[in-house]
Structure formats: structure tokens, C-alpha cells
Structure 1
């Protein structure tokens, strides 16, 4: 077996190292394509320097390298999906060709070719994936409206597409897909940064990135709840909520303490929270109340919406908001719905929760977030979505 794996890896690397754009550049223009334009042997540089036809052949071959490598590994005797895992050597060969002093392309197309194989394989072989496919289509169309046909679009689409495929795949399959997805995402992100893309100053200044990054850690509540009991999660969530509540009460009780905390922890606290409870307190209290008021499946789903829906509503609204909707923006509202529904779908698959109720929850959370009232959306998002899902679930006899 070791010999078969070694031989498969060697074939993958050699196949990947063949660079059509390099040889076409030499043949058609007498140039080393790695020394002009974007200074690499990738598809985009081939299009800019050599034209559409050479770029087309480069695209077809680069997309196929990994698939051909996996096919060869299969013929040698490596089973599925290990043969695709081994085909990552084709990506490495593309990036580090031995005869070009290890300076090749970026491997984005080769990695994407493998990802697309798994995506369409899942689509055609698993009947329930059609819902995920339609959901992804809805998500993409929503993003196109919000962002436009920008090269940044792929950075929002690829992780979601991976997530939808992964929950329909075996462990070894999704680990394999993750490797190729991560490579494609990393290359795309690096290219966007090199091209000068960055978030607007308003977005960079307004969003508290430490809190933005910490939001997904709220998923630990869900994981712990499913591994323990209602009694335990109520004690845990209650203790966390009381800690944040006590901290805010102490902070707000003394002006000197408040000012010192706001200055020291300016990376975590918003200016508008100087004289009121923080959104972190509102969210932890809302989580506790959701666990207290609703069944496990409903309460766990309800806290997903302020975590992911509100998280991306802020990003989309600040960065791409154009049309006002009360005190928010239409783009932020659509961002909440899009990411909320995605989160709800993943949860519905993993927890056997009715997807239609998750959709109702996402819309309820988005509406509560956009309404012009004084109630903090971190508090209203979980409670209103939980309430809507609970009562619709009772009416439809789904809970």
C-alpha cells in the first residue's frame, strides 16, 4: 500500500507541475509568463498576457489536474476518497514545479476542480441536497444584489458552499473537501488583499472585531446543551448572564469605574454602551431566557440568528448598505435573512429540526432587528425567533 500511495503522489505531483500557460507563453510569445503581468503561471495572468484561447486551454487543464490525478490513484489501487486526498499533490505540483525552480501558479483552479467534483457529485447522488443547492442559489443571488459582481463575492460563497456539501458528506470526504476549499479560499483572499481590497473605514472603525470574532463561540451553548441536560444549561447560561449583568451593573454604578473600563476595553465596548448595558449582556440574558422558555431544539435554533444573522447584518449594512429601512438598511436586512437561513438549514440537518421553522425564525429575527424600537436586537432576535418558531411549530404540530 505504501508503494501505491507513493506512486500516486508522484504521478499527481508530476501531472500538476505541467504548466500549460508557461509553455504556451514560450510557444506563442517567446516569454516567461511568470516574469510579466501578475508574475505567475495562473489562469488570470494567462488571460491578460496570452489572450482568451490560451487561457481557456489553461483553465480546462488546470481544473482537470486534480481529477486526473485522483483517477490515476484509483487505477493504481487507492480507494475513494483517499485517492482525492492524495490528489492534493497535483496542487502542490502546480504551485511548486520542479523544472521552474518551484515557481509556478497558485493552484486555485486545480483545487477548485476537486471542490466542484464533490459539489456536483453530492448534487446528483444525494436527493436531499437539492434543497441545499436551491438555498445556495438564493444566497448567491442575494449576495449579488448586496455586493454586486465583485471579485470579493467568492470569499462569501465558497465557505457556505463547503458547509452545505460537508453536512451531506462522510467525515473523510468533508476533511478532503476542506483541504481544497481552504487552499482556494486562502489564494483568493491573498489575491484580493494584494489587489488593494479592504473594508471601508466606517466598517473597520464601527465593528468591534474582537466581539465579531467571538460570536460563534456562543455555539458552545448548543453543543453543551445537547451533551448534557436542560438543568445544566440553565445553570451555565444563567451564571454567564449573571456575570455579564453584574459586570455592567458595577461599571454603570460608578462613573470613574465606567470611564476606566470603557477606555481600557475600548476594543470590546461600543461608545453607545457607555451609559447602558452592553449587547453582550443582552445576548447572554436572551440565551438564558430562550433555554428557560422554549424546548431544546427551538431554543438552540433561536440563538443562531443573533449570532450569525445579526453578525452579518452589521457587516453587510455597514459595508454595502444603500437603501434605508427604518434605522437600518435593506442590504443588512437581507444579510441577516441570508446567513440566518443558512445557519438554520445546517442546524435543521444536524438536529433533525424542521427547516421551515428555521426559515420562520430567521425572518422573525431579521424583522425584530430592523424594527425601530428601543429593544436591543441581541435580546429581541433570539426571543422573537424562538417565540415564532415555537407557536408555528405547535400550530403545524411539528414540535
Structure 2
């Protein structure tokens, strides 16, 4: 298993947030739990960046979870959790949940498909591929349509948000983990 595959699979633990939000937890409880997680992880990230010994131990413990460029920088997990926090804070429950699912499945399948089958680069010098973008769009549409079978979210909202998420995901050097759930939620709210 490649480090990027291991990394994306670990991100699927994020699915616990929408699961518990739908099944058991109130909005304020989710916001509190995600907010506390952001604070705790931020403290670890600051400590990790200030201590080579701690950094080495955490990198070994979470082997393959950190990208090479994150070894001495902040983990994207902070951005992922922040995007989730903003989605839950700003949007109606099922819009927030679907926005988080778009982030988890869309971004995850884009990376896995791009790594496995990606042959056609979208931008020179980046990892983003047409194949990964197709996987992103397809997975967002599938998840959106399945979700709309249980909760009323219109197909137009799902299609527009899925397209927007796919575009955001391919923009080089963006913090897409924070932007994707916000863009998806905003579009599904205003349409």
C-alpha cells in the first residue's frame, strides 16, 4: 500500500463525524467535539514542529499518514477538521453532512484513482489527473444521489455542488480540505 493510499484511507475515519451527527449527536455536540479535536491536534502540531524528537516519534507512529511536505509543516488534518467545523456551523444538518461526504469520498477516490489509473495530467507539474477528477465527480454524484434517497436534497444542488467540488479539488496549491465542504454547502444552500 502506497503512502498516499494509506493516507486517504485514514481520512475515511472522518466518516464518523457525519455518521454520529445523523444518528446520535446534536449540532452543538459535533461542533464541540470537532473544535476540541482541532485544538488538541493543533497543540500536537505546534509541539511536533518545535521538537525534532517528538516529530520523529509521531512520524514513525503515523507512518504514511503525513506527506513528505508535511514533515516540517502543519498537517492537512487541521484543514480537514476546520472544513468540517465550518460546514456543521454554517449549514443545515443534511447539507453539512453531504458536504463532508463529498470531501471524504470525492477527495479520497480522486487520489486513489489518480494514483492507480492517472495518465493525463490536468496541469503540468502537479499530481492532479483527469482520471482522478472523473473519480471525484462520479463519487460525489453517487454519494449525493444515494443520500438524497434518504433526505430531501435536490438533484440540481447535488450536480452543481459535485461539479464545483471537482473544480476546487484540481486547483493547485489550495487548501481544498477546508474549501470543499464550505463551497459544497454554500452552493447547496443557495440553489
**Normalization by structure 1: what TM-score?**
0.44
Structure 1 residues 354 and 229: alpha-carbon distance in aligned structure 2, compared to 1, 3 A threshold: same
Contact 1:208 1:269 in 2 (8 A): no
Contact 2:38 2:81 in 1 (8 A): yes
Structure 1 residue 345 corresponds to structure 2 residue 145: yes
Q: Residue 72 of structure 2: SS of its match in structure 1?
A: coil
State the match for 1:269 in structure 2. Answer: 66
Rounded Cα–Cα distance in structure 1 between residues aligned with 2:159 and 2:89: 22
Larger relative contact order (CA 8 Å, sep ≥ 6): 2
Residue 353 of structure 1: how far off its partner (Å) = 1.8
Contact 1:208 1:268 in 2 (8 A): no
State the match for 1:212 in structure 2. Answer: 8
**Normalization by structure 2: what TM-score?**
0.88
State the match for 2:129 in structure 1. Answer: 329
State the match for 2:189 in structure 1. Answer: 390
Which residue of 357, 381, 388 maps to 2:180?
381
Rounded Cα–Cα distance in structure 1 between residues aligned with 2:4 and 2:80: 17
Residue 300 of structure 1: how far off its partner (Å) = 0.9
Rounded Cα–Cα distance in structure 2 between residues aligned with 1:324 and 1:370: 10
Structure 1 residues 212 and 371: alpha-carbon distance in aligned structure 2, compared to 1, 3 A threshold: closer
Question: What's the C-alpha RMSD, in Å, of the aligned pairs?
Answer: 1.8
Residue 208 of structure 1: how far off its partner (Å) = 4.2
Deviation by residue 1:203-225 (Cα, 9 ceiling, x = unmatched)? x434242x433333323222322
Which residue of 269, 276, 281 maps to 2:78?
281
Rounded Cα–Cα distance in structure 2 between residues aligned with 1:246 and 1:367: 32
State the match for 2:27 in structure 1. Answer: 230
Rounded Cα–Cα distance in structure 1 between residues aligned with 2:47 and 2:149: 42
Deviation by residue 1:64-121 (Cα, 9 ceiling, x = unmatched)? xxxxxxxxxxxxxxxxxxxxxxxxxxxxxxxxxxxxxxxxxxxxxxxxxxxxxxxxxx
Deviation by residue 1:129-155 (Cα, 9 ceiling, x = unmatched)? xxxxxxxxxxxxxxxxxxxxxxxxxxx
Structure 1, unaligned runs of 5 or more = 1-203, 393-399
Residue 307 of structure 1: how far off its partner (Å) = 0.5
Residue 311 of structure 1: how far off its partner (Å) = 0.6
Structure 1 outlier segments of 4+, above 4 Å: none
State the match for 2:159 in structure 1. Answer: 359
Rounded Cα–Cα distance in structure 2 between residues aligned with 1:245 and 1:391: 32
Structure 2, unaligned runs of 5 or more = none
State the match for 2:116 in structure 1. Answer: 319
355-364 or 335-344, larger mean C-alpha shift: 355-364
Rounded Cα–Cα distance in structure 2 between residues aligned with 1:260 and 1:389: 42
Deviation by residue 1:183-214 (Cα, 9 ceiling, x = unmatched)? xxxxxxxxxxxxxxxxxxxxx434242x4333
Rounded Cα–Cα distance in structure 2 between residues aligned with 1:388 and 1:360: 7
